[in-house]
C-alpha cells in the first residue's frame, strides 16, 4: 500500500470519527432540548431559577427561613458546640425510656447555656407564619449549621424529659418538627434527607417522652398539630428536580471541565483519557443520565406506596445502560449489588459519573416512605395516648376502639392496604407498618444495618 493511499485512508478514518462525534453531539443537544421542553410543559422545574421561582417571595419580616439563618450560623461557629453535637450524633439514638447519663448532661448543659441567646432567636424565627423566600435564599441549608441547631433543640427536649417537665419538652418537639418543615423546602440538594433526619430525631424523642409519663390532652393535640404540618407536598419531587438542575449545570460547565483537566497530579495519558471521556463517553452518558433523572422525577409523582419499587427498577435500568466500568462502580452503592473494584475510583469517570451517583438514589424514596410511615404511626400513637387519658391503666385492644372520638377511621398501611398494625407489648404497645420489604416482621425495629428485615415502628413502653 502506497504512502499516499495510507494518508487518504487515515484522513477518511479521522473524518468519519469527527463526523460521528458531531452527529452524536447534535443528537444529544436535540434530545436534551426536547426533554427539557417536555419537562417544562409538564410543570417540572429544570433550572435553579425555576426551582426558586416556584415559591412566592415572602417579606423579610415574615420569613422564618431568613430569620433562622443567623442563629444557626452563630451556633455552628461555636466550635465546641459543633464538636459536642457531632459526638452526640455518633450515638444519637438514646435508649427508649432511659434517662440521659451524667456524662451526657455534663456535655450538653454547658453547650445549651452558652447558646441560649442564639436558641431564643432561632425559636422566634421558627414561630413565624411563613418560611420561604424563593429569591433571597439559595444554598443556606448546609448540613453543619442546621444539624447542630437541631441537635441542640433535641438536647433541650431530652433534658426536659429527664427533669419530668413535659410542658418544656413539647415546645421543643414542636420546634424540631417546624425546623424540618422549613428545611424541607430549601432549594438545596440534600434538604429532604436532612429534614427526614431531623424528624427521625423528633420521633425518637417523642417515644422517649411518652415512655416517661403521660401528656395532657392539650399537649398531645399540640404535638399532633405540629406533626400534621411538618411535611411539604412535593418535597421529593423538588429534591429530584434539584438533582436534575445540578446535573445540567455540571454537564454544561466548560469551566468545570477545564479545572477537571488541569489537575497537576494527572499524567499526560490520564489527561488524554479524560479528554476522550469529555468528547465521546460524556455524550453517551449525558443522554442516559438525563433520561434516568427524568424518570426519577416521574416516579416522585407516583402514589408514595409505589415509589420505592419503581425507583429500584429504575436504578437497575440505568446500571444496565452505563459503560461497564461505571456500571460496576455504581452497583457498589446500590442495594442488592456487590461493590466492584472500581468503586473507589468512581470520580475518575468524570463529573457526569459523580452527578449520576448523587442522583440515582433509590434510597431517597425508601427514606421518604419510612419518614411518612413513622409520621403516620406517631400521630396514631398520640390518639392512643389521648384514649388512655379517658381509660386509665388500660390499653385499647385494637385501633378500632379509638374511632370515632380520637380517630376518624382506622389508619391504613399504604404499603399493603391493610389496617396499620397495633400490638401490645409487656410494658406498652407498638404501632407499625410492614415497610418496603413487604413483610410483617412483628414490629421489629430498624437496626444500624438498614437492609436487615425490619418494620417502620413507633413504640411506647413505660417502666
Q: What is the mean pLDDT of the chain?
A: 75
Q: Are residues 108 and 222 in the same domain?
A: yes
CA proximity to 131, closest of 89, 178, 166: 178
pLDDT at position 318 is: 67
CA proximity to 192, closest of 358, 66, 368: 368
Q: Are residues 78 and 150 in the same domain?
A: yes
Q: Are residues 141 and 261 in the same domain?
A: no
CA proximity to 240, closest of 361, 76, 395: 361
d(CA 162, CA 298): 46
Question: What are the tens digits of pLDDT across the range 240-295?
Answer: 777 777 666 656 655 555 555 566 666 666 666 655 555 444 556 667 777 777 88
**Angle between the N-to-C axes of helices 235-252 and 351-359, in degrees from 0 to 180, rounded to the nearest 10:** 180
What's the pLDDT band for 136 if we cut at 50, 70, 90?
A: very low
Highest mean pLDDT among 203-217, 233-247, 285-299, 370-384: 370-384
pLDDT at position 11 is: 75
Any domain includes 1: no
pLDDT at position 327 is: 42
The residues, any chain, with a CB within 8 Å of residue 318's CB and separated by 6 or more, are 288, 289, 292, 330, 356, 360
**Domain region containing 196:** 51-232
Q: What is the mean pLDDT of residues 385-411?
A: 93
Identify the burial level of 306 via C-beta atoms within 10 angstroms of its C-beta, where 0-12 means exposed, 13-18 middle and 19 or more buried. Answer: middle
Any domain includes 250: yes
Q: Pick from 314, 334, 360: which residue ends a domain?
A: 360
- What does 290-323 look like in DSSP terms, one character per residue? HHHHHHHHHHTTS-TTTHHHHHHHHHHHHHHHS-
Q: Are residues 91 and 31 in the same domain?
A: no
Q: Pick from 199, 232, 265: which residue ends a domain?
A: 232
d(CA 262, CA 330): 26
List 430's β-bridge partners, or say none.
423, 459
Cis peptide bond upstream of 404, omega within 30: yes
Q: Are residues 212 and 243 in the same domain?
A: no
The residues, any chain, with a CB within 8 Å of residue 68's CB and separated by 6 or more, are 122, 125, 126, 149, 179, 182
Q: Are residues 80 and 214 in the same domain?
A: yes
Residue with more model confidence, 110 or 23: 110
Any domain includes 9: no
Compute and round to an integer the Cα radius of gyration of the chain: 26
DSSP state of 428: E
Q: Are residues 37 and 149 in the same domain?
A: no
Q: Pick from 360, 384, 407: which residue ends a domain?
A: 360
Q: Are residues 203 and 60 in the same domain?
A: yes
Range name among 204-213, 291-300, 358-367 with the lowest pLDDT average: 358-367
Task: Check pLDDT > 90 for residue 436.
Answer: no
Any domain includes 6: no
Q: Are residues 178 and 111 in the same domain?
A: yes
Q: Are residues 98 and 38 in the same domain?
A: no
pTM comes to: 0.77
Any domain includes 81: yes
Any domain includes 4: no
Q: Are residues 219 and 78 in the same domain?
A: yes
Question: What are the tens digits of pLDDT across the range 329-355?
Answer: 444 443 333 333 333 333 334 334 444
Any domain includes 410: yes
Asked whether 423 and 443 are in contact (CB, 8 A), the reply is: yes
Structural domain count, the chain: 3
Question: What are the tens digits of pLDDT across the range 14-60?
Answer: 776 666 655 555 555 566 677 778 878 877 777 767 776 766 667 77
Q: Are residues 87 and 225 in the same domain?
A: yes
Any domain includes 376: yes
Amino acid at each position: 500500500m502506497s504512502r499516499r493511499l495510507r494518508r487518504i485512508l487515515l484522513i477518511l478514518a479521522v473524518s468519519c470519527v469527527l463526523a460521528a462525534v458531531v452527529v452524536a453531539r447534535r443528537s444529544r443537544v436535540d434530545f436534551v432540548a426536547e426533554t427539557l421542553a417536555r419537562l417544562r410543559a409538564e410543570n417540572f422545574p429544570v433550572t435553579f431559577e425555576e426551582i426558586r421561582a416556584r415559591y412566592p417571595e415572602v417579606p423579610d419580616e415574615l420569613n422564618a427561613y431568613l430569620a433562622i439563618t443567623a442563629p444557626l450560623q452563630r451556633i455552628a461557629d461555636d466550635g465546641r458546640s459543633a464538636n459536642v453535637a457531632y459526638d452526640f450524633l455518633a450515638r444519637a439514638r438514646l435508649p427508649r425510656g432511659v434517662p440521659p447519663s451524667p456524662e451526657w448532661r455534663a456535655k450538653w448543659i454547658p453547650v445549651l447555656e452558652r447558646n441560649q441567646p442564639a436558641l431564643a432567636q432561632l425559636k422566634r424565627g421558627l414561630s413565624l407564619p411563613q418560611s420561604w423566600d424563593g429569591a433571597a435564599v439559595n444554598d443556606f441549608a448546609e448540613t453543619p449549621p442546621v444539624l447542630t441547631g437541631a441537635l441542640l433543640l433535641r438536647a433541650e427536649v431530652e433534658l426536659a424529659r429527664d427533669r419530668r417537665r413535659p410542658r418544656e419538652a413539647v415546645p421543643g418537639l414542636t420546634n424540631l418538627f417546624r425546623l424540618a418543615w422549613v428545611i424541607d423546602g430549601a432549594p438545596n440538594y440534600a434538604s429532604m434527607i436532612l429534614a427526614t433526619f431531623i424528624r427521625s430525631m423528633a420521633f425518637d424523642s417523642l417515644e422517649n417522652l411518652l415512655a416517661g409519663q403521660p401528656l395532657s390532652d392539650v399537649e398531645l393535640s399540640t404535638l399532633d398539630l405540629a406533626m400534621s404540618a411538618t411535611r411539604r407536598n412535593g418535597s421529593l419531587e423538588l429534591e429530584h428536580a434539584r438533582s436534575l438542575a445540578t446535573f445540567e449545570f455540571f454537564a454544561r460547565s466548560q469551566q468545570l471541565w477545564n479545572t477537571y483537566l488541569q489537575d497537576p497530579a494527572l499524567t499526560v495519558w490520564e489527561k488524554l483519557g479524560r479528554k476522550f471521556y469529555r468528547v465521546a463517553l460524556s455524550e453517551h452518558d449525558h443522554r442516559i443520565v438525563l433520561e434516568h433523572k427524568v424518570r426519577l422525577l416521574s416516579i416522585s409523582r407516583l402514589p408514595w406506596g409505589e415509589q420505592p419499587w419503581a425507583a429500584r427498577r429504575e436504578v437497575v435500568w440505568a446500571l444496565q445502560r452505563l459503560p461497564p466500568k461505571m456500571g460496576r462502580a455504581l452497583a457498589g452503592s446500590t442495594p442488592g449489588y456487590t461493590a466492584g473494584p472500581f468503586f473507589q475510583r468512581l470520580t475518575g469517570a468524570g463529573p457526569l459519573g459523580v452527578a449520576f451517583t448523587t442522583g440515582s438514589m433509590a434510597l431517597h424514596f425508601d427514606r421518604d416512605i419510612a419518614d411518612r410511615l413513622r409520621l403516620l404511626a406517631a400521630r396514631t400513637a398520640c390518639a392512643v395516648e389521648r384514649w388512655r387519658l379517658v381509660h386509665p391503666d388500660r390499653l385499647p385492644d385494637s385501633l378500632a376502639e379509638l374511632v370515632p372520638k380520637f380517630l376518624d377511621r382506622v389508619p391504613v398501611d399504604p404499603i399493603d392496604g391493610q389496617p396499620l398494625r397495633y400490638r401490645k407489648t409487656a410494658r406498652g404497645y407498638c404501632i407499625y407498618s410492614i415497610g418496603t420489604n413487604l413483610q410483617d416482621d412483628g414490629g421489629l425495629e430498624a437496626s444500624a444495618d438498614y437492609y436487615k428485615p425490619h418494620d417502620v415502628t413507633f413504640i411506647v413502653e413505660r417502666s
